[in-house]
Amino acid sequence: MKHPGLTSKWDSLSRNEIRWLQGKKLSRFIQEQVYPFSSFYREHFDKAGVSPSSIKTLDDLRRLPFISKVDCCASKEDPARSKKLVLAPTADSIRKNFSPLRLAKMAVMKAIRGEEWIKKDLGREYRPSMLIFTTGRTSDPVPFALTLYDLEIMKEVGSRILSVIGADPATDRCVSVFPYAPHLAFWQVFYCGMTDGLMSLLTGGGRVMSTDRILGSIEKLKPTLISGIPGYVYHLLRNGAEQGRDFSSIRLILLGGDRVTDHQRRRITEILEQQGSKDPQVLSVYGFTEARQCFAECPAKESTGFHTYPDLSIFETIDPETGEPVADGEPGELVYTGIDGRGTIAIRYRTGDIAEGGLTYDPCPHCGRNTPRIMGPMSRVSNQVGYQLSKIKGTLVNLDHISQIVGDQRGVEEWQLVIGKKNDDPMEVDELTLYLAAEERANESTIRQQIQQRLRAETEVGLNGVHFLPLPDMLDRIGMETELKENRVVDRRKEIEGRIQKETQSQSKN
């Protein structure tokens, strides 16, 4: 498929050029694709009183209403809701909405190659050929459709990622330990290899190919790049170090699918250097299913943010409470708008992700690319949960903040935080219990004291219990080699409430 909207200058445009390009593409995309071919957006915009013809410049983006994950999820009232976000042109809507120039070209090609060729060509552009899903950690997985047109974009993004991280397909080799799954991270790595011919081994992680076999493959293939979910990559390399494996070929670690803590970066770097790697770089990648693309850091000693693609997407940062925009460099919730693509389309999609460093349009101080950059660390709006301290006092607890404190604690190998109820009584106060596996020779008493002190000072809540477990038990507890992502935070409150309700109903029947 051809993509005339993509530009080879995507990382060297001035801010004024970016605004002009994005405004032009946004206007055409809304008027020629989104509004005519998506039943969801027609209804959504009409309800908000927004005419597609009123979207002419980038400033008009704010006229469009937000959507969120709720708008993409199926419900009892609307089980096919996710399909309505897919561009689904009909013969009639094509005749009404394609530009005269494109209709003329189609007429010429029909005369030359026939009507069946036209149908196949439109099918390649609009017919969904692949589904990926949100991970569904807090809700049911939501499907997002991609057409062959979108897969060509994913290939282009793969090429850009390799460029940003400084990988050379001619000399670099990749071992991916992302799980085999219909999820963005796995397929983005796949298309990094498909684009420029990067030699790649897709292992599926410990759920498919065992950790020992992956380590053996690393020694035989001698990859320069390892990609995967942070927790499992750390687990893999830690096991390799214990076995005395040779990691001298590895120079880049690419982590995605979950938050990367400073402790993980530090420990992964230490392990690689101990096992022969020289000056390894640990980089993070940000992505989400709704965007159907990922954004990488460049290999700087200090993070310079995730480099985005201004010819493919628009990012905004807003106050999560008011929805109003925040200034460049200020913390805010990321809002994503795709301006090229087919299949499932996301327009002004509230990601629920907070970029603590906001957005910046200054050239990257390390690589010099002039592209909008998302500055972390990243956190989730949904990870601020209600916590009942006493029968009369409650507070909001930022689980990302707690995770960062525990994850960055020296001496901690693995951990899990459990939110429960005192005595498993749904009418009682909430309790926080932390389970830990400590590093060898680490002082458990010191770890317990330091974590408790930081939590009370920075979150105003304390732990009701800290329990140390052997590392194998902790790995089983968090599902290191059985789950797509480790179960770091477990909220048992609904489970307890549901169990008590069932017991009560059973007793009343008897």
Among the ranges given (33-42, 64-73, 282-291, 493-502), the one the predictor scored with the smallest mean pLDDT: 493-502
For 191-248, how does the pLDDT look when each residue is reduced to its tens digit (9 = 90+)? 988 888 899 999 998 888 999 999 999 999 999 999 999 999 999 999 999 999 999 9
Domains and CATH numbers, the chain: 383-509 (3.30.300.30)
Residue where the block lists tokens 């993004």: 157
- Determine how many CB atoms are found less than 10 A away from the CB of residue 385: 15
**In 165-280, beta strands by DSSP E:** 173-179, 199-204, 225-228, 252-255
Task: Enter the pTM of the model.
Answer: 0.86
Euclidean distance between CA atoms 230 and 238, whole angstroms:
12
For 245-295, how does the pLDDT look when each residue is reduced to its tens digit (9 = 90+)? 999 999 999 999 888 888 889 999 999 999 999 999 999 999 999 999 999
Q: How far is CA 71 from CA 50, 471, 493, in A?
A: 18, 41, 26
- Determine how many CB atoms are found less than 10 A away from the CB of residue 181: 17
Peptide bond into 377 cis (omega under 30): yes
pLDDT band at 494 (very low <50, low <70, confident <90, very high): confident
CA dihedral (365, 366, 372, 378) positive or negative: negative
Euclidean distance between CA atoms 468 and 437, whole angstroms:
6
Euclidean distance between CA atoms 411 and 280, whole angstroms:
22
The average confidence (pLDDT) of the chain is: 90
Euclidean distance between CA atoms 155 and 150, whole angstroms:
9
What pLDDT score does 260 carry?
86
What pLDDT score does 288 carry?
92
- Rounded to a whole number, what is the largest CA-CA distance in the chain? 81
Residue where the block lists tokens 């011919």: 197
Euclidean distance between CA atoms 88 and 343, whole angstroms:
8
Euclidean distance between CA atoms 53 and 49, whole angstroms:
12
* Chain-centroid distance, C-alpha 356: 16
Q: Do the bridges between strand 378-380 and strand 489-491 make them parallel or antiparallel, or are there none, so unpaired?
A: unpaired
- What number of CA atoms fall less than 13 Å from residue 70's CA on the CB side? 5
What pLDDT score does 388 carry?
60
Can you give the C-alpha Rg of the chain in angstroms?
A: 25
Q: Are 228 and 250 in contact (CB under 8 A)?
A: no
Mean pLDDT of 295-321: 95
Q: Are 383 and 397 in contact (CB under 8 A)?
A: no
Q: What is the 3-state secondary structure (H, E, C) of 54-80?
A: HCCCHHHHHHCCCECHHHHCCCCCCCC
Phi/psi at 484 (nearest 5 deg)? -65, -40
Euclidean distance between CA atoms 115 and 123, whole angstroms:
12
133's enclosing H/E stretch is strand 130-133
What is the 3-state composition of the chain as percent helix, strand, coil, each rounded to the nearest 5? 40, 20, 35
510 pLDDT exceeds 70?
no
CA dihedral (51, 52, 53, 57) positive or negative: positive
465's enclosing H/E stretch is strand 465-468
248's enclosing H/E stretch is none
Higher pLDDT, 112 or 381: 112
> What percent of the chain clears pLDDT 90, i.e. is strictly above it?
69
Instruction: Kindly give, in sequence order, each residue whose CB lies less than 8 Å from that of residue 396, ignoring residues fewer than 6 positions away.
Output: 384, 385, 386, 387
What pLDDT score does 404 carry?
83
For 390-430, how does the pLDDT look when each residue is reduced to its tens digit (9 = 90+)? 444 466 677 888 888 888 899 999 999 998 888 888 878 88
Euclidean distance between CA atoms 247 and 243, whole angstroms:
11
What pLDDT score does 393 carry?
47
Euclidean distance between CA atoms 232 and 249, whole angstroms:
19
What pLDDT score does 275 carry?
96
Mean pLDDT of 71-87: 85
340 pLDDT exceeds 90?
yes
- Determine how many CB atoms are found less than 10 A away from the CB of residue 152: 18
